[in-house]
Amino acid sequence: MTRSRFLPLITGLTLLACTGGAFAGSVADQFRGGAFGLSWSADRSAIQAKYPGGKWDKDELVGTDRYCAPSRQLLLKLPAQHQTKELCFLMGADKTMGAATARLEPSLPSLLAVVNRSRTMFGDFDAVKRDEGAIQSRYTFMLWLKDAPIIAVVSSANGDDGAPNLVAFSVADEASLFAKDADKVSNKPAGK
């Protein structure tokens, strides 16, 4: 009889200990020092030296200098089929790296993999940007803003046929590069 009183307690403590690793961590904890082997203080020459063979242009969304270079590497501990194909770096207001973006193969499996892994690592996203006027959304940005100014973004865009033509994971130490006009969302049930 004595054992039966302690069995539920032991079972509960064991379950709690086993599920402790499943709780999401912080975007800031993961990326406080920088991203993709570069610190947030990296300037143009440091970025280009780390990832040679790319090109500089202006980012069409935020209008800042952007450097993109081919790079195949693992992202967020995803399986090898979801490796990056290109890395892009946006320069911030202080002329150092303000954001880093990993572009993946534009496919639904890649999008689902990066969204699900981001939600597992960082919890639910807390803001979203999308083209509200379209019948079928042409782009969506899911943003993790709770650790601002360091934020994470999963972005996707669709072609006219509805298939993804962009799947990307970004991290920034300047939230304003992505968060302007983002709508806050809640993943809590209504009334909670």
Condensed to tens digits (0 to 9), the pLDDT of residues 171-182 reads 998 766 665 555
Residue 83: give the domain boundaries. Answer: 25-184
Q: Is the dihedral of CA 61, 67, 72, 73 positive or negative?
A: negative
Q: What tens digit of pLDDT does each residue of 10-26 get?
A: 333 333 333 333 345 68
Helix, strand, coil fractions of the chain, as percent rounded to 5 = 30, 30, 40
Q: Please, which residues have CB within 8 angstroms of residue 1's CB and are 6 or more apart in sequence? A: none
Q: Is residue 12 part of a domain?
A: no
Q: Is residue 52 part of a domain?
A: yes
- 127 touches 143 (CB < 8 A): yes
Q: Is residue 66 part of a domain?
A: yes
Does residue 114 register a pLDDT over 90? Answer: yes
Q: Is residue 169 part of a domain?
A: yes
Number of domains in the chain: 1
pLDDT value at residue 12:
37
Q: Is residue 149 part of a domain?
A: yes
pLDDT cut 70: percent of the chain above it = 75
Q: Is residue 190 part of a domain?
A: no
Q: Is residue 87 part of a domain?
A: yes
Does residue 187 register a pLDDT over 60? Answer: no
pTM above 0.85, yes or no: no
Q: Is residue 132 part of a domain?
A: yes
pLDDT value at residue 183:
52
